[in-house]
Amino acid sequence: MISLTLAQIADAVRGELRLAAGDTAETVVSGAVDTDSRLIEPGGVFVAKPGEVTDGHEFVDAAVQRGAVLAIVERPVSSAVTQIVVGDAVQSLADLARDAVARVRAGGALQVVGITGSNGKTTTKNLLARILEGEGETVAPRASFNNDVGAPLTMLRVTETTRFLVSEFGASAPGAIARLAGLVTPDIGVVLMVGMAHAGGFGGIEGTFRAKSELVQAVRPGGLAVLNADDPRVAAMAPLAAERDVAVRWFGRGDADVRATDVEVSVHGTRAEIVVDGRALTLRLQVIGEHHVMNALAALAAATALGVDPADAVARLETVEIAERWRMQPLGSDRVRILNDAYNASPDSMAAALRTLAQIVGPGERTVAVLGAMSELGEYADDEHDRIGLLAVRLNIQRIVVIGAEARRMYLEAIAQGSWDGEAVFFPDADAAYDYLVRELREGDRVLVKSSNSAGLRFLGDRLGEFFS
Protein backbone atom coordinates (compact mmCIF):
# COMPACT_ATOMS: atom_id res chain seq x y z
CA MET A 1 0.00 0.00 0.00
CA ILE A 2 1.12 3.59 -0.49
CA SER A 3 2.38 5.43 2.59
CA LEU A 4 -0.48 6.93 4.60
CA THR A 5 -0.77 8.26 8.12
CA LEU A 6 -3.15 6.60 10.53
CA ALA A 7 -5.27 9.76 10.42
CA GLN A 8 -5.46 9.61 6.62
CA ILE A 9 -6.51 5.96 6.74
CA ALA A 10 -9.15 6.64 9.38
CA ASP A 11 -10.51 9.51 7.29
CA ALA A 12 -10.60 7.37 4.13
CA VAL A 13 -12.59 4.58 5.80
CA ARG A 14 -14.68 6.99 7.91
CA GLY A 15 -13.68 5.19 11.08
CA GLU A 16 -12.83 5.93 14.70
CA LEU A 17 -9.08 5.84 15.36
CA ARG A 18 -8.03 4.11 18.60
CA LEU A 19 -4.30 4.49 19.07
CA ALA A 20 -2.08 1.92 20.73
CA ALA A 21 0.88 2.92 22.86
CA GLY A 22 3.66 4.46 20.78
CA ASP A 23 1.45 5.48 17.84
CA THR A 24 0.13 8.93 16.94
CA ALA A 25 -2.31 10.09 14.31
CA GLU A 26 0.70 10.97 12.15
CA THR A 27 2.29 7.52 12.36
CA VAL A 28 2.88 6.35 8.78
CA VAL A 29 1.74 2.91 7.57
CA SER A 30 2.80 1.45 4.22
CA GLY A 31 2.52 -2.33 4.58
CA ALA A 32 0.31 -4.67 2.60
CA VAL A 33 -3.40 -4.95 3.39
CA ASP A 34 -5.07 -8.33 3.81
CA THR A 35 -8.13 -10.02 5.29
CA ASP A 36 -6.25 -13.28 5.96
CA SER A 37 -4.17 -13.14 9.13
CA ARG A 38 -1.94 -15.91 7.78
CA LEU A 39 -0.80 -13.67 4.93
CA ILE A 40 0.01 -10.61 7.01
CA GLU A 41 3.61 -9.38 6.74
CA PRO A 42 5.55 -7.03 9.04
CA GLY A 43 4.11 -3.52 8.83
CA GLY A 44 0.84 -4.79 7.36
CA VAL A 45 -2.78 -3.83 7.84
CA PHE A 46 -5.31 -6.49 8.88
CA VAL A 47 -8.97 -6.03 7.98
CA ALA A 48 -11.09 -8.08 10.38
CA LYS A 49 -13.82 -9.19 8.03
CA PRO A 50 -16.69 -11.22 9.51
CA GLY A 51 -17.17 -14.43 7.55
CA GLU A 52 -19.79 -17.13 7.14
CA VAL A 53 -17.74 -19.63 9.16
CA THR A 54 -15.13 -17.62 11.06
CA ASP A 55 -14.88 -14.04 12.27
CA GLY A 56 -11.76 -12.03 11.46
CA HIS A 57 -11.94 -10.34 14.85
CA GLU A 58 -10.83 -13.63 16.42
CA PHE A 59 -7.57 -13.46 14.47
CA VAL A 60 -6.40 -9.93 15.25
CA ASP A 61 -3.81 -11.19 17.72
CA ALA A 62 -2.55 -13.71 15.16
CA ALA A 63 -2.19 -10.90 12.65
CA VAL A 64 -0.29 -8.80 15.21
CA GLN A 65 2.06 -11.71 15.88
CA ARG A 66 2.83 -11.77 12.17
CA GLY A 67 3.63 -8.07 12.19
CA ALA A 68 0.36 -6.17 11.68
CA VAL A 69 0.61 -2.56 12.87
CA LEU A 70 -3.04 -1.67 12.27
CA ALA A 71 -6.34 -3.53 12.48
CA ILE A 72 -9.52 -2.28 10.83
CA VAL A 73 -12.37 -3.72 12.89
CA GLU A 74 -16.13 -3.50 13.23
CA ARG A 75 -15.85 -3.64 17.02
CA PRO A 76 -12.90 -2.93 19.33
CA VAL A 77 -10.88 -5.98 20.32
CA SER A 78 -8.54 -6.57 23.21
CA SER A 79 -5.19 -6.36 21.42
CA ALA A 80 -2.09 -4.19 21.71
CA VAL A 81 -2.43 -2.73 18.21
CA THR A 82 -3.88 0.48 16.83
CA GLN A 83 -7.42 -0.07 15.61
CA ILE A 84 -9.81 1.82 13.36
CA VAL A 85 -13.43 0.97 14.16
CA VAL A 86 -15.76 1.03 11.16
CA GLY A 87 -19.34 0.12 10.47
CA ASP A 88 -18.57 -2.36 7.67
CA ALA A 89 -15.12 -3.90 7.20
CA VAL A 90 -15.68 -4.87 3.56
CA GLN A 91 -16.90 -1.36 2.72
CA SER A 92 -13.86 0.08 4.48
CA LEU A 93 -11.66 -2.04 2.24
CA ALA A 94 -13.34 -0.50 -0.80
CA ASP A 95 -13.09 3.02 0.63
CA LEU A 96 -9.39 2.62 1.36
CA ALA A 97 -8.75 1.25 -2.13
CA ARG A 98 -10.58 4.17 -3.73
CA ASP A 99 -8.53 6.65 -1.71
CA ALA A 100 -5.18 4.97 -2.40
CA VAL A 101 -5.72 4.70 -6.15
CA ALA A 102 -6.96 8.30 -6.35
CA ARG A 103 -3.80 9.52 -4.61
CA VAL A 104 -1.54 7.63 -7.03
CA ARG A 105 -3.53 8.81 -10.05
CA ALA A 106 -3.17 12.38 -8.89
CA GLY A 107 0.49 12.01 -9.75
CA GLY A 108 -0.52 11.52 -13.37
CA ALA A 109 1.34 8.30 -14.23
CA LEU A 110 -1.12 5.52 -13.29
CA GLN A 111 -3.32 3.99 -16.01
CA VAL A 112 -6.20 1.71 -14.97
CA VAL A 113 -7.61 -1.12 -17.11
CA GLY A 114 -10.76 -2.97 -16.07
CA ILE A 115 -11.69 -6.35 -17.55
CA THR A 116 -14.99 -8.21 -17.45
CA GLY A 117 -16.86 -10.84 -19.42
CA SER A 118 -18.69 -14.09 -18.89
CA ASN A 119 -15.52 -16.05 -19.70
CA GLY A 120 -11.84 -15.32 -20.15
CA LYS A 121 -11.35 -12.57 -17.54
CA THR A 122 -8.51 -14.20 -15.64
CA THR A 123 -6.68 -15.37 -18.76
CA THR A 124 -6.93 -11.93 -20.39
CA LYS A 125 -5.82 -10.26 -17.18
CA ASN A 126 -2.74 -12.47 -17.05
CA LEU A 127 -1.92 -11.91 -20.72
CA LEU A 128 -2.30 -8.14 -20.43
CA ALA A 129 -0.23 -8.04 -17.25
CA ARG A 130 2.58 -9.95 -18.95
CA ILE A 131 2.63 -7.38 -21.76
CA LEU A 132 2.51 -4.35 -19.47
CA GLU A 133 5.16 -5.63 -17.06
CA GLY A 134 7.68 -4.97 -19.82
CA GLU A 135 6.70 -1.29 -19.80
CA GLY A 136 6.74 -0.54 -16.09
CA GLU A 137 5.49 -1.51 -12.65
CA THR A 138 2.19 -3.34 -13.07
CA VAL A 139 -0.31 -4.51 -10.48
CA ALA A 140 -2.79 -7.26 -11.43
CA PRO A 141 -4.98 -9.63 -9.43
CA ARG A 142 -3.67 -12.86 -8.04
CA ALA A 143 -5.75 -15.84 -9.24
CA SER A 144 -9.36 -14.60 -9.63
CA PHE A 145 -9.40 -11.70 -7.17
CA ASN A 146 -12.42 -10.04 -8.77
CA ASN A 147 -15.07 -9.63 -6.07
CA ASP A 148 -15.87 -7.19 -3.24
CA VAL A 149 -12.81 -8.32 -1.31
CA GLY A 150 -10.38 -9.45 -3.99
CA ALA A 151 -10.69 -6.41 -6.25
CA PRO A 152 -9.96 -3.82 -3.52
CA LEU A 153 -7.09 -5.94 -2.17
CA THR A 154 -5.55 -5.82 -5.64
CA MET A 155 -6.07 -2.06 -5.90
CA LEU A 156 -4.35 -1.59 -2.56
CA ARG A 157 -1.15 -3.12 -3.93
CA VAL A 158 -0.47 -0.01 -6.03
CA THR A 159 2.50 2.10 -5.03
CA GLU A 160 3.59 5.61 -5.89
CA THR A 161 5.59 4.18 -8.82
CA THR A 162 2.91 1.87 -10.29
CA ARG A 163 2.27 2.62 -13.98
CA PHE A 164 -0.53 0.15 -14.69
CA LEU A 165 -3.33 -1.30 -12.58
CA VAL A 166 -5.21 -4.18 -14.21
CA SER A 167 -8.47 -4.97 -12.41
CA GLU A 168 -10.68 -7.98 -13.06
CA PHE A 169 -14.36 -7.48 -12.31
CA GLY A 170 -16.69 -10.41 -11.69
CA ALA A 171 -20.36 -10.14 -10.91
CA SER A 172 -22.69 -12.31 -8.88
CA ALA A 173 -25.53 -9.78 -8.95
CA PRO A 174 -26.59 -6.62 -10.80
CA GLY A 175 -24.64 -3.57 -9.70
CA ALA A 176 -21.51 -5.45 -8.61
CA ILE A 177 -19.34 -4.34 -11.55
CA ALA A 178 -20.58 -0.76 -11.30
CA ARG A 179 -19.64 -0.73 -7.62
CA LEU A 180 -16.17 -2.20 -8.10
CA ALA A 181 -15.26 -0.30 -11.26
CA GLY A 182 -16.57 2.85 -9.64
CA LEU A 183 -13.73 2.63 -7.12
CA VAL A 184 -11.16 3.39 -9.83
CA THR A 185 -13.06 4.79 -12.87
CA PRO A 186 -10.96 2.86 -15.45
CA ASP A 187 -9.16 4.56 -18.30
CA ILE A 188 -9.84 1.45 -20.40
CA GLY A 189 -12.68 -1.04 -20.00
CA VAL A 190 -12.40 -4.43 -21.73
CA VAL A 191 -15.55 -6.52 -22.30
CA LEU A 192 -14.80 -10.02 -23.57
CA MET A 193 -18.18 -11.68 -24.06
CA VAL A 194 -21.72 -12.01 -22.77
CA GLY A 195 -22.62 -15.64 -22.18
CA MET A 196 -24.60 -17.93 -19.92
CA ALA A 197 -22.11 -17.92 -17.03
CA HIS A 198 -24.01 -16.96 -13.83
CA ALA A 199 -27.17 -16.51 -15.90
CA GLY A 200 -29.20 -17.95 -13.03
CA GLY A 201 -28.28 -14.97 -10.89
CA PHE A 202 -29.17 -12.40 -13.53
CA GLY A 203 -32.47 -13.79 -14.77
CA GLY A 204 -31.09 -14.74 -18.20
CA ILE A 205 -28.61 -13.53 -20.73
CA GLU A 206 -30.15 -10.08 -21.11
CA GLY A 207 -29.56 -9.54 -17.41
CA THR A 208 -25.97 -10.63 -17.94
CA PHE A 209 -25.68 -8.06 -20.76
CA ARG A 210 -26.82 -5.30 -18.46
CA ALA A 211 -24.39 -6.39 -15.74
CA LYS A 212 -21.37 -6.54 -18.05
CA SER A 213 -22.24 -3.20 -19.66
CA GLU A 214 -21.77 -1.58 -16.25
CA LEU A 215 -18.02 -1.56 -16.96
CA VAL A 216 -18.44 0.48 -20.15
CA GLN A 217 -20.55 2.96 -18.20
CA ALA A 218 -17.85 3.20 -15.51
CA VAL A 219 -15.01 4.17 -17.89
CA ARG A 220 -13.95 7.78 -17.43
CA PRO A 221 -15.19 10.26 -20.06
CA GLY A 222 -12.55 10.46 -22.76
CA GLY A 223 -11.44 6.91 -22.00
CA LEU A 224 -11.62 3.77 -24.13
CA ALA A 225 -13.85 0.70 -24.36
CA VAL A 226 -12.22 -2.40 -25.86
CA LEU A 227 -15.11 -4.48 -27.23
CA ASN A 228 -15.53 -7.88 -28.86
CA ALA A 229 -16.73 -7.24 -32.40
CA ASP A 230 -17.79 -10.89 -32.79
CA ASP A 231 -20.26 -10.88 -29.89
CA PRO A 232 -23.46 -9.00 -30.85
CA ARG A 233 -24.28 -8.25 -27.24
CA VAL A 234 -20.85 -6.80 -26.53
CA ALA A 235 -20.99 -4.85 -29.80
CA ALA A 236 -24.32 -3.41 -28.64
CA MET A 237 -22.45 -1.66 -25.83
CA ALA A 238 -20.87 0.81 -28.27
CA PRO A 239 -23.75 3.34 -27.96
CA LEU A 240 -23.32 3.27 -24.18
CA ALA A 241 -19.69 4.21 -24.69
CA ALA A 242 -20.63 7.05 -27.02
CA GLU A 243 -23.00 8.46 -24.42
CA ARG A 244 -20.01 8.90 -22.06
CA ASP A 245 -17.63 10.25 -24.70
CA VAL A 246 -15.74 6.95 -24.53
CA ALA A 247 -14.02 5.78 -27.72
CA VAL A 248 -14.32 2.16 -28.91
CA ARG A 249 -11.51 -0.14 -30.01
CA TRP A 250 -12.61 -3.44 -31.54
CA PHE A 251 -11.06 -6.90 -31.41
CA GLY A 252 -12.28 -10.06 -33.13
CA ARG A 253 -11.89 -12.60 -35.90
CA GLY A 254 -13.56 -10.44 -38.52
CA ASP A 255 -13.44 -6.70 -39.25
CA ALA A 256 -11.74 -5.21 -36.19
CA ASP A 257 -8.86 -2.96 -35.16
CA VAL A 258 -7.09 -6.00 -33.74
CA ARG A 259 -8.01 -9.23 -35.48
CA ALA A 260 -6.85 -12.80 -36.09
CA THR A 261 -7.01 -15.21 -39.01
CA ASP A 262 -5.68 -18.69 -39.81
CA VAL A 263 -5.85 -20.02 -36.26
CA GLU A 264 -4.20 -23.40 -35.73
CA VAL A 265 -4.42 -25.40 -32.50
CA SER A 266 -2.23 -28.30 -31.43
CA VAL A 267 -1.40 -30.09 -28.21
CA HIS A 268 1.66 -27.85 -27.97
CA GLY A 269 -0.03 -24.45 -28.36
CA THR A 270 -2.00 -22.08 -30.58
CA ARG A 271 -0.83 -20.17 -33.64
CA ALA A 272 -2.58 -17.30 -35.42
CA GLU A 273 -1.93 -14.59 -37.96
CA ILE A 274 -2.94 -11.27 -36.43
CA VAL A 275 -3.34 -7.70 -37.62
CA VAL A 276 -2.96 -4.77 -35.23
CA ASP A 277 -4.07 -1.50 -36.79
CA GLY A 278 -3.01 -2.74 -40.21
CA ARG A 279 0.28 -4.27 -39.05
CA ALA A 280 0.57 -8.03 -39.74
CA LEU A 281 2.25 -10.31 -37.18
CA THR A 282 2.36 -14.00 -36.29
CA LEU A 283 1.36 -15.02 -32.78
CA ARG A 284 2.55 -18.35 -31.36
CA LEU A 285 0.91 -18.91 -27.99
CA GLN A 286 2.05 -21.69 -25.71
CA VAL A 287 -1.47 -21.58 -24.26
CA ILE A 288 -3.73 -24.23 -25.82
CA GLY A 289 -7.13 -23.34 -27.26
CA GLU A 290 -8.64 -21.35 -30.10
CA HIS A 291 -10.72 -19.36 -27.63
CA HIS A 292 -7.54 -18.01 -26.04
CA VAL A 293 -6.77 -16.19 -29.28
CA MET A 294 -9.69 -13.87 -28.52
CA ASN A 295 -8.30 -13.28 -25.03
CA ALA A 296 -4.92 -12.45 -26.59
CA LEU A 297 -6.55 -10.06 -29.05
CA ALA A 298 -8.30 -8.24 -26.21
CA ALA A 299 -5.00 -7.94 -24.32
CA LEU A 300 -3.26 -6.68 -27.46
CA ALA A 301 -6.00 -4.13 -28.13
CA ALA A 302 -5.70 -2.70 -24.62
CA ALA A 303 -1.90 -2.79 -24.50
CA THR A 304 -1.35 -1.14 -27.86
CA ALA A 305 -3.88 1.55 -26.94
CA LEU A 306 -1.59 2.26 -23.99
CA GLY A 307 1.32 2.76 -26.37
CA VAL A 308 2.97 -0.68 -26.35
CA ASP A 309 4.62 -1.62 -29.65
CA PRO A 310 2.65 -4.52 -31.21
CA ALA A 311 5.77 -6.61 -31.87
CA ASP A 312 6.89 -6.23 -28.26
CA ALA A 313 3.41 -7.13 -27.05
CA VAL A 314 3.32 -10.29 -29.19
CA ALA A 315 6.80 -11.35 -28.04
CA ARG A 316 5.72 -11.06 -24.39
CA LEU A 317 2.51 -13.00 -25.00
CA GLU A 318 4.55 -15.84 -26.43
CA THR A 319 6.37 -16.24 -23.10
CA VAL A 320 3.16 -17.14 -21.24
CA GLU A 321 3.25 -20.89 -20.56
CA ILE A 322 -0.23 -21.36 -19.05
CA ALA A 323 -3.20 -19.04 -18.77
CA GLU A 324 -3.57 -19.84 -15.07
CA ARG A 325 -3.45 -22.95 -12.95
CA TRP A 326 -6.42 -25.22 -13.76
CA ARG A 327 -7.19 -23.33 -16.98
CA MET A 328 -6.28 -25.50 -19.96
CA GLN A 329 -3.22 -26.48 -17.93
CA PRO A 330 -1.24 -29.21 -19.72
CA LEU A 331 -0.30 -32.08 -17.43
CA GLY A 332 0.75 -35.69 -17.87
CA SER A 333 3.09 -36.36 -20.77
CA ASP A 334 3.10 -36.70 -24.55
CA ARG A 335 2.03 -40.30 -23.92
CA VAL A 336 -1.20 -39.28 -22.15
CA ARG A 337 -1.82 -35.51 -22.24
CA ILE A 338 -4.17 -34.11 -19.59
CA LEU A 339 -5.72 -30.65 -20.06
CA ASN A 340 -6.90 -29.57 -16.64
CA ASP A 341 -9.51 -26.85 -17.23
CA ALA A 342 -11.64 -27.43 -14.15
CA TYR A 343 -11.34 -24.15 -12.29
CA ASN A 344 -14.56 -22.84 -13.79
CA ALA A 345 -17.16 -23.76 -16.38
CA SER A 346 -20.04 -22.17 -18.22
CA PRO A 347 -21.84 -23.40 -21.35
CA ASP A 348 -19.58 -21.21 -23.49
CA SER A 349 -16.30 -22.21 -21.88
CA MET A 350 -17.33 -25.87 -21.78
CA ALA A 351 -18.10 -25.79 -25.51
CA ALA A 352 -14.82 -24.01 -26.28
CA ALA A 353 -12.83 -26.56 -24.30
CA LEU A 354 -14.55 -29.49 -26.04
CA ARG A 355 -13.85 -27.97 -29.46
CA THR A 356 -10.21 -27.55 -28.48
CA LEU A 357 -10.05 -31.21 -27.46
CA ALA A 358 -11.45 -32.22 -30.84
CA GLN A 359 -8.88 -30.03 -32.60
CA ILE A 360 -5.72 -31.30 -30.92
CA VAL A 361 -6.16 -35.02 -31.59
CA GLY A 362 -3.87 -36.59 -34.19
CA PRO A 363 -3.89 -39.86 -36.11
CA GLY A 364 -4.13 -42.85 -33.80
CA GLU A 365 -4.99 -40.66 -30.81
CA ARG A 366 -8.20 -40.67 -28.80
CA THR A 367 -10.24 -37.89 -27.23
CA VAL A 368 -11.52 -38.29 -23.66
CA ALA A 369 -13.73 -35.68 -21.98
CA VAL A 370 -14.04 -35.84 -18.19
CA LEU A 371 -16.93 -33.53 -17.36
CA GLY A 372 -18.57 -32.21 -14.21
CA ALA A 373 -21.37 -29.81 -13.42
CA MET A 374 -21.67 -26.19 -14.53
CA SER A 375 -22.88 -24.11 -11.59
CA GLU A 376 -24.96 -20.94 -11.21
CA LEU A 377 -27.21 -21.60 -14.19
CA GLY A 378 -30.46 -21.63 -12.23
CA GLU A 379 -33.48 -22.58 -14.31
CA TYR A 380 -31.26 -22.99 -17.39
CA ALA A 381 -29.14 -25.77 -15.87
CA ASP A 382 -30.97 -28.77 -17.34
CA ASP A 383 -31.08 -27.47 -20.91
CA GLU A 384 -27.45 -26.30 -20.86
CA HIS A 385 -26.15 -29.62 -19.52
CA ASP A 386 -28.18 -31.38 -22.23
CA ARG A 387 -26.56 -29.21 -24.89
CA ILE A 388 -23.07 -30.03 -23.71
CA GLY A 389 -23.82 -33.75 -23.80
CA LEU A 390 -25.12 -33.33 -27.35
CA LEU A 391 -22.08 -31.27 -28.40
CA ALA A 392 -19.65 -33.87 -27.06
CA VAL A 393 -21.30 -36.52 -29.23
CA ARG A 394 -21.41 -34.29 -32.31
CA LEU A 395 -17.71 -33.53 -31.89
CA ASN A 396 -17.11 -37.29 -31.87
CA ILE A 397 -15.46 -37.27 -28.45
CA GLN A 398 -14.58 -40.93 -28.10
CA ARG A 399 -14.91 -41.30 -24.33
CA ILE A 400 -17.29 -39.12 -22.31
CA VAL A 401 -16.84 -39.49 -18.56
CA VAL A 402 -19.46 -37.61 -16.54
CA ILE A 403 -19.06 -37.14 -12.79
CA GLY A 404 -21.58 -36.11 -10.15
CA ALA A 405 -25.36 -36.05 -9.89
CA GLU A 406 -25.61 -32.40 -11.00
CA ALA A 407 -23.90 -33.28 -14.28
CA ARG A 408 -25.79 -36.51 -14.96
CA ARG A 409 -27.91 -34.98 -17.72
CA MET A 410 -24.81 -34.66 -19.89
CA TYR A 411 -24.38 -38.41 -19.64
CA LEU A 412 -28.05 -39.10 -20.32
CA GLU A 413 -28.03 -36.86 -23.39
CA ALA A 414 -24.88 -38.54 -24.71
CA ILE A 415 -26.57 -41.91 -24.30
CA ALA A 416 -29.69 -40.61 -26.03
CA GLN A 417 -27.56 -39.45 -28.96
CA GLY A 418 -26.00 -42.87 -29.43
CA SER A 419 -22.99 -43.05 -27.10
CA TRP A 420 -24.41 -46.04 -25.28
CA ASP A 421 -21.85 -48.75 -26.07
CA GLY A 422 -19.24 -47.75 -23.51
CA GLU A 423 -18.43 -44.39 -25.10
CA ALA A 424 -20.21 -42.53 -22.29
CA VAL A 425 -19.96 -43.52 -18.63
CA PHE A 426 -21.19 -41.97 -15.39
CA PHE A 427 -19.65 -41.96 -11.92
CA PRO A 428 -21.09 -40.47 -8.74
CA ASP A 429 -17.77 -39.04 -7.54
CA ALA A 430 -14.23 -38.22 -8.61
CA ASP A 431 -12.62 -41.14 -6.77
CA ALA A 432 -14.67 -43.68 -8.69
CA ALA A 433 -13.88 -41.89 -11.94
CA TYR A 434 -10.16 -41.84 -11.12
CA ASP A 435 -10.10 -45.61 -10.60
CA TYR A 436 -11.76 -46.07 -13.99
CA LEU A 437 -9.54 -43.60 -15.81
CA VAL A 438 -6.20 -44.97 -14.63
CA ARG A 439 -7.30 -48.33 -16.06
CA GLU A 440 -8.96 -46.98 -19.21
CA LEU A 441 -6.54 -44.33 -20.46
CA ARG A 442 -3.89 -45.45 -22.92
CA GLU A 443 -1.02 -44.08 -24.92
CA GLY A 444 -2.14 -41.41 -27.38
CA ASP A 445 -5.11 -40.26 -25.31
CA ARG A 446 -5.85 -36.54 -25.13
CA VAL A 447 -7.91 -35.89 -21.99
CA LEU A 448 -9.93 -32.81 -21.06
CA VAL A 449 -11.00 -32.37 -17.43
CA LYS A 450 -13.66 -29.64 -17.26
CA SER A 451 -16.14 -28.51 -14.60
CA SER A 452 -17.09 -25.62 -12.39
CA ASN A 453 -14.93 -25.00 -9.35
CA SER A 454 -17.59 -26.35 -7.01
CA ALA A 455 -17.42 -29.80 -8.62
CA GLY A 456 -13.80 -30.16 -7.50
CA LEU A 457 -12.57 -31.93 -10.64
CA ARG A 458 -9.46 -29.75 -10.78
CA PHE A 459 -7.99 -32.03 -8.11
CA LEU A 460 -8.89 -35.07 -10.20
CA GLY A 461 -7.04 -33.45 -13.10
CA ASP A 462 -4.00 -32.96 -10.89
CA ARG A 463 -4.09 -36.62 -9.80
CA LEU A 464 -4.35 -37.83 -13.38
CA GLY A 465 -1.55 -35.51 -14.45
CA GLU A 466 0.74 -36.89 -11.76
CA PHE A 467 -0.16 -40.51 -12.53
CA PHE A 468 0.59 -40.15 -16.25
CA SER A 469 3.61 -37.86 -15.97
Q: Are residues 243 and 144 in the same domain?
A: yes
- Over residues 51-82, the pLDDT tens digits come to 878 899 999 999 999 999 999 999 999 999 99
Number of domains in the chain: 3
Percent of the chain with pLDDT over 70: 98
Q: What is the mean pLDDT of residues 306-316?
A: 98
- Are 154 and 184 in contact by the 8 Å Cβ rule? The answer is no
Domain presence at residue 97: no
Q: Are residues 64 and 138 in the same domain?
A: no
With 70 as the cut, is the pLDDT of residue 197 above it? no
Q: Are residues 152 and 213 in the same domain?
A: yes
With 70 as the cut, is the pLDDT of residue 199 above it? no
Q: Are residues 136 and 254 in the same domain?
A: yes
Q: Are residues 247 and 163 in the same domain?
A: yes
Residue 115: closest CA among 247, 233, 212, 48: 212
Residue type, 118: S
Structure confidence at residue 173 (pLDDT)? 79
Domain presence at residue 206: yes
Pairing of strands 269-276, 279-285: antiparallel
What are phi and psi for residue 260, nearest 5 degrees? -130, 145
In angstroms, rounded to a whole number, what is the distance separating the alpha carbons of residues 67 and 208? 42
Structure confidence at residue 201 (pLDDT)? 59
Q: Are residues 301 and 256 in the same domain?
A: yes
Structure confidence at residue 420 (pLDDT)? 79
Domain presence at residue 245: yes
- Are 120 and 295 in contact by the 8 Å Cβ rule? The answer is yes
Structure confidence at residue 267 (pLDDT)? 87
- Over residues 205-214, the pLDDT tens digits come to 888 899 999 9
Q: Which of 23, 55, 89 is the last residue of a domain?
A: 89
Pairing of strands 164-168, 138-139: parallel
Domain presence at residue 96: no
Q: Are residues 403 and 287 in the same domain?
A: no
Q: In the structure, what pLDDT confidence band is assigned to residue 323 with cuts at 50, 70 and 90?
A: confident
Q: What is the mean pLDDT of residues 151-177?
A: 93
Q: Are residues 277 and 335 in the same domain?
A: no
Structure confidence at residue 427 (pLDDT)? 97
Domain presence at residue 48: yes
Structure confidence at residue 263 (pLDDT)? 95
| Mean pLDDT score of the chain | 94
Q: Are residues 309 and 161 in the same domain?
A: yes
Q: Which of 89, 119, 136 is the last residue of a domain?
A: 89
Q: Are residues 114 and 165 in the same domain?
A: yes
Q: Which of 22, 57, 89 is the last residue of a domain?
A: 89
Q: What is the mean pLDDT of residues 188-201?
A: 79
In angstroms, rounded to a whole number, what is the distance separating the alpha carbons of residues 399 and 435? 15
- Helix and strand numbers (H, E) in the chain are 17, 22
Domain presence at residue 323: no
Q: In the structure, what pLDDT confidence band is assigned to residue 418 with cuts at 50, 70 and 90?
A: confident
CB atoms within 10 A of CB 19: 14
- On the CB side of 468, CA atoms within 13 Å amount to 28
Q: Are residues 263 and 114 in the same domain?
A: yes
With 70 as the cut, is the pLDDT of residue 202 above it? no
Residue 455: closest CA among 351, 350, 356, 363: 350
Domain presence at residue 27: yes
- Residue 206: CATH number of its domain: 3.40.1190.10
Structural domain including 44 reads 4-89
Domain presence at residue 104: no
Higher pLDDT residue, 195 or 468? 468
Structure confidence at residue 107 (pLDDT)? 84
Q: Are residues 27 and 152 in the same domain?
A: no
- Residue 35: CATH number of its domain: 3.40.1390.10
Q: What is the mean pLDDT of residues 190-218?
A: 83
Pairing of strands 269-276, 258-266: antiparallel
- Residue 346: CATH number of its domain: 3.90.190.20
